[in-house]
């Protein structure tokens, strides 16, 4: 009995000691510090929505060079791929056949002039003789007809001579426009036919066109009040990326294509300054409205909750809060927010991947860098004027 009482006393003492030591053990444990995450302040900036269209660039002028006369190529007077000027001689055909024709017709013209002078003299004499009643009226009329025939013959030879001189001039093939010439398709020694044989091609290189089609709904919703005289600003993006190229809309078609439901639009760019080549693939961005200031956050800061989009904001106690937002356009790695955020708000820069609403955090402030992000189409004063 004494042994049992001793055992119970020992157990009771152990429980008392255990109860006394438990609070001390809990007091010795420390809570883990709040998770450190990147936090960024909302960036307020002017942004503009735009629409992007794909196209192939075209030269305003393109000439398939063909000879106006037939003959044998005697000389090629240009370097393939170089820039040439309007009126510059590019090919020379053998001029001798044309020179012979000119000389022949010159001689015929001299003969025709002599015949015409004689016919005029005889017609004047016949008129005098008829007045003196020394020649019949019938014979005088014959001499007048001979004069008219001589005049017509002389005029015909003069016209043939003019054509022969043109053919001699056309034996030197000149550039009808300024631009860059292709390789020579026909070289020295080959015979070419007038209006048939292709010698080379020339494309203008001062400006370049980009034609693109805007669907009817987009045009009606966003650009209904736009006219070609407004010189609306556009941006061109090349296939290899890099800096965008500014330009302006200089032509809008006069009707919507009923087969495709699209409206043809053309933009013009400075080809020389930006090294643009005809046939190159390009993306054309056309702004649909004036710039408006909106909050910007990193795209990765936005979370999805069923059909809703949200961000996690940081309050004054460094606690994350759930905030519904309405999304605007995307600009590179950033997204414009139409509603839900205001200037001065702070958001979890990397989104809700590791954190959630109600969590305390230790903020690591980061700065949003928008220097390399295009938010608006460039202003008109930096563009190529359509009038140029």
Per-residue tens of pLDDT for the chain, all 388 residues: 444 444 434 444 444 444 444 444 444 456 678 899 999 999 999 988 888 899 999 999 999 999 999 999 999 999 999 999 999 999 999 999 999 999 999 999 999 999 999 999 888 888 888 787 878 888 888 888 999 999 999 999 999 999 999 999 999 999 999 999 999 999 999 999 999 999 999 999 999 999 999 999 989 888 888 888 888 889 998 888 777 899 999 999 999 999 999 999 999 999 989 999 999 999 999 887 677 899 999 999 999 988 899 999 999 999 999 999 999 888 888 999 999 999 999 999 999 988 999 999 999 999 999 888 878 875 443 333 433 3
> Angle CA(370)–CA(373)–CA(377) in degrees, nearest 5?
125
Whole-number pLDDT of residue 377: 73
Instruction: Find out whether 347 and 359 touch, Cβ atoms under 8 Å.
Output: no
Q: How many CB atoms lie within 10 A of CB 235?
A: 23
Looking up tokens 């016919």 gives 119
Determine the pLDDT at residue 29: 57
CB 262 within 8 A of CB 253: no
CA angle (364, 365, 366) in 5-degree steps:
115
Which DSSP state fits 257? B
Measure Cα distances from 53 to 124, 209, 362 in Å.
79, 14, 45
- Between 137-170 and 96-131, two packed helices, what is the crossing angle to 10 degrees? 160
Q: Say how far residue 82 (Cα) sits from the centre of its chain.
A: 23
Single out the residue of 113, 114, 139, 107 nearest to residue 126, CA to CA. Answer: 139
Which pLDDT does position 1 carry in this prediction? 44
Contacts of 45 (CB under 8 A, 6+ apart): 293, 294, 296, 370, 375
Q: What angle do CA 75, 80, 85 make, to 5 degrees?
A: 85
Residue positions counted in the chain: 388
**According to the model, what pLDDT value does residue 228 have?**
84
Question: How far is 320 from 314, CA to CA, in rounded Å?
Answer: 5
Q: What six digits make up the tokens of 153?
A: 């013959």
DSSP letter assigned to residue 158 = H
């Amino acid at each position: 009995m004494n042994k049992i009482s001793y055992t119970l006393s020992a157990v009771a003492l152990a429980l008392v000691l255990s109860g006394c030591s438990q609070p001390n053990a809990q007091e010795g444990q420390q809570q883990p510090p709040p998770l450190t995450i990147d936090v960024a302040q909302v960036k307020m900036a002017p942004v503009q929505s735009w629409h992007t269209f794909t196209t192939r660039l075209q030269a305003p002028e393109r000439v398939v060079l063909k000879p106006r006369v037939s003959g044998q190529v005697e000389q090629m007077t240009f370097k393939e791929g170089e820039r040439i000027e309007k009126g510059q001689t590019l090919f020379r055909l053998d001029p001798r056949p044309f020179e012979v024709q000119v000389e022949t017709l010159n001689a015929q013209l001299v003969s025709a002039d002599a015949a015409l002078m004689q016919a005029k003299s005889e017609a004047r004499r016949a008129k005098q003789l008829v007045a003196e009643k020394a020649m019949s009226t019938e014979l005088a009329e014959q001499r007048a007809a001979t004069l008219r025939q001589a005049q017509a013959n002389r005029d015909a030879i003069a016209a043939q001579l003019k054509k022969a001189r043109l053919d001699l001039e056309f034996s030197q093939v000149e550039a009808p426009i300024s631009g860059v010439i292709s390789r020579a398709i026909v070289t020295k020694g080959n015979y070419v036919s007038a209006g048939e044989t292709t010698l080379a091609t020339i494309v203008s290189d001062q400006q370049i066109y980009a034609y693109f089609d805007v669907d009817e709904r987009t045009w009606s919703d966003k650009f209904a009040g736009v006219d070609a005289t407004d010189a609306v600003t556009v941006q061109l993006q090349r296939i290899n990326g890099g800096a965008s190229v500014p330009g302006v809309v200089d032509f809008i078609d006069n009707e919507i294509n009923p087969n495709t439901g699209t409206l043809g639009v053309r933009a013009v760019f400075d080809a020389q300054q930006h090294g643009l080549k005809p046939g190159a693939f390009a993306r054309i961005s056309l702004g649909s409205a004036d710039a408006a200031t909106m909050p910007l956050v990193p795209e990765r800061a936005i979370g999805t909750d069923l059909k809703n989009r949200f961000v996690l904001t940081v309050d004054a106690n460094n606690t994350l809060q759930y905030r519904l937002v309405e999304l605007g356009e995307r600009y590179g790695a950033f997204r414009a927010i139409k509603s839900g955020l205001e200037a001065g708000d702070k958001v979890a820069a990397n989104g809700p991947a590791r954190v959630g609403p109600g969590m305390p955090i230790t903020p690591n402030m980061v700065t949003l860098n928008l220097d390399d992000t295009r938010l608006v189409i460039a202003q008109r004063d930096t563009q190529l004027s359509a009038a140029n």
